[in-house]
Amino acid sequence: MCGIIGYVGSKEATPILLEGLKKLEYRGYDSSGVGVCSAKDGKIAIRKAQGKIRHLEELIKSHAIPHSTVGISHTRWATHGAPSHRNSHPHCNVKQTIAVVHNGIIENYQEIKQELQKKGIKFSSETDTEVIAHLVSQYFHGDLIKAVQKAIGRVRGAFAIGVISSATPNLLVAARVGSPLIIGIGKGENFIASDVPAILDKTKRVIYLKDGEMAALTANDVKIWKFDGKPVTPKIDTITFTVGSAQKEGYPHFMLKEIHEQPNVLAQMMKVRTKGNNVILDGIGLSDNQLKSIKNIYIVACGTAYHAGMVGKYVIEKLSGIPVTVDAASEFRYREPILQKGTLIVSVSQSGETADTLAAVRDARARGAKAITICNAVGSSLVRESDGVLYTHAGPEIGVASTKAYTAQIGMFYLFALKLGELRKKLSDAERQKILKELKHIPTLFKTILKDKDHVAQIAKKKFRFGCFLFLGRNVNYPSALEGALKLKEISYIPAEGYAAGEMKHGPIALIDEYRAVVCIAPQSDVYEKMISNIQEIRARKGKITAIATQGDTNIKKHADYVIYIPKTNPLLTPLLVALPLQLIAYYIAVNLGCDVDQPRNLAKSVTVE
């Protein structure tokens, strides 16, 4: 999704803005732009370029931008109007004295546009954003804060905006509804940004602007109001993660770095969330009695988080006996799920800003359900709109393809299910302690898998020219098959399907011939024999099989072209272990194909629009 960074201080704004934009690249974008107040001609100086930020840098080198200490900048991920120079942000009023950057969608922009056009205002883009610039201009009589306040009173939808005016060249105004925006507090300088990594090397002191709040920033001051003008005393948070965690640290890609962070993320989670043999779910916002009386659970999420939720279903049902329904949030919000007394909503999200997940939670809570979230982003919208939060604390995930956030979400589901199983007496103490012990050992097993990553890289070298992949799994690893296919298609663009292996005969087997690459997830478990039967059926039709199997299973070598081994563990916990080879398969295939692994085409890290 789009990224915003704005600066006001005493330094040259443009290099700071460009640096910040680069740190937001992971969000996905198709064009970028910078706007600064220019003392020269009383206008805002704008530079925009389609494609990568380096194109913008090249443009600024060839067409120098005036000196300025206040500015706004943006990476755009097209929604209204094609990715193009004219649709890139910042957008200006006709005189080019006011400039706006915007994330989100203005739903009533057509009607405002028509109204402004009737007044003779000429639009220069197809975007919804441009109406904001013209509205601010209409209301501007020397006070930018008042003009922005009036303009946002006219628009409907989701937005985070940054606004500057050449008439007030020491002021940056910001506002948000729906889309995230933070304020970074520096020394003699202040920032706005869509996300923390953009400003992490400048300051660790941030204010998370809340929905319905606006801010006025000068070099030495930040003031916040509600849209109705009521002043707000801001809460300043201190970011605990380091610049290093938002940089590649020697890895060629963020994705590979984040794959390698998984042992630490899970080990940290186990350390913080367990005390001896007990699971600690601080922050969940529900008492033990409320947890005991849960009648049913809806898990709502999108994409990879949805797959984590599917694993959660298997685990919660098995360990606690509570019925669980998993819904893609975009489906949940538009059907009529049966919510009753005792229904709990569990949303799952890395960013905490996914529009559909947020809407699903809002709808359910408006209908009386309790909602908790398993979330990575501290202070995000989902967290604020839920009754409780189980933070995954996986650190910033920069690679667009989710890896460490996924295993952290699954890790949290095990802990949650163990707690529910304990409270509802579905599990004996001995059973619970055994699973918890095995779970605590997973980070060590992760390291074993990662040590063998070159073997996966070799297999990827043999496989990257296949035009289509099938991923098969059963039971708790059916979601793993879906996730393996999603990972591969999003970063390598190879068509890939995930299937429950038992469904093979009901259609997908028609795909199998010698040109089909099939990844079979077959760790030791109750369904192992069934997986072997499926593998034989594929083999008989000349499909090319890579199996993920348990260390010591030599039998499987007879059936598969390649085997990737994972260490032995409780079968219920295997989705954690198989996630790593699946991520590595996708990663190395994409690298062999020369794809932009960290920023796959068309994808955005944080999907803040529907």
Binding site for ligand F6R (CB under 6 A): 302-305, 349-351, 354, 357, 401-402, 490, 606-607
CB of 485 to ligand F6R, least distance (A): 11
Nearest to 376 by CA among 390, 386, 365: 390
Instruction: Give 477's DSSP letter.
Output: G
219 within 8 A of 363, measured Cβ to Cβ: no
Axis-axis angle for helices 130-139, 144-154 (nearest 10): 130
CB of 403 to ligand F6R, least distance (A): 8
CB of 604 to ligand F6R, least distance (A): 8
Nearer to ligand F6R, 354 or 550 (CB): 354
Rounded CA gap, 303 and 99, in Å? Answer: 35
Nearer to ligand F6R, 16 or 460 (CB): 460
Distance from chain centroid for Cα 134 = 32
CB of 494 to ligand F6R, least distance (A): 15
Nearer to ligand F6R, 371 or 522 (CB): 371
Rounded CA gap, 581 and 587, in Å? Answer: 10
CB of 304 to ligand F6R, least distance (A): 3
**Sign of the dihedral through C-alpha 28, 32, 38, 43:** negative
CB of 169 to ligand F6R, least distance (A): 37
Concatenate the DSSP letters of all residues of 339-377 into one string: --TTEEEEEEESSS--HHHHHHHHHHHHTT-EEEEEESS
Of 2, 37, 302, 520, which is the active-site residue?
2
Classify residue 170 by burial, with Cβ atoms within 10 Å: 0-12, 13-18, 19+.
middle
CB of 310 to ligand F6R, least distance (A): 12
For residue 362, give both structure tokens. 């809002």
Indicate if 595 belongs to the active site. no
Of 370, 404, 463, 605, which is the active-site residue?
605
Indicate if 605 belongs to the active site. yes
Neighbouring CB atoms inside 10 A of 214's CB total 24
Query: What are the CA-CA distances from residue 231 to residues 179, 271, 459 (Å)?
Result: 21, 41, 60
Nearer to ligand F6R, 30 or 490 (CB): 490
Nearer to ligand F6R, 203 or 606 (CB): 606
Nearer to ligand F6R, 189 or 195 (CB): 195
Rounded CA gap, 593 and 465, in Å? Answer: 8
E strands in 340-495: 343-349, 370-375, 388-391, 469-473
Cβ burial 232-247 (10 Å sphere, 16+ → b, else e): bebeebebebeeebbb
Nearer to ligand F6R, 174 or 607 (CB): 607
**Sign of the dihedral through C-alpha 350, 355, 359, 362:** positive
Positions annotated as catalytic residues are: 2, 605
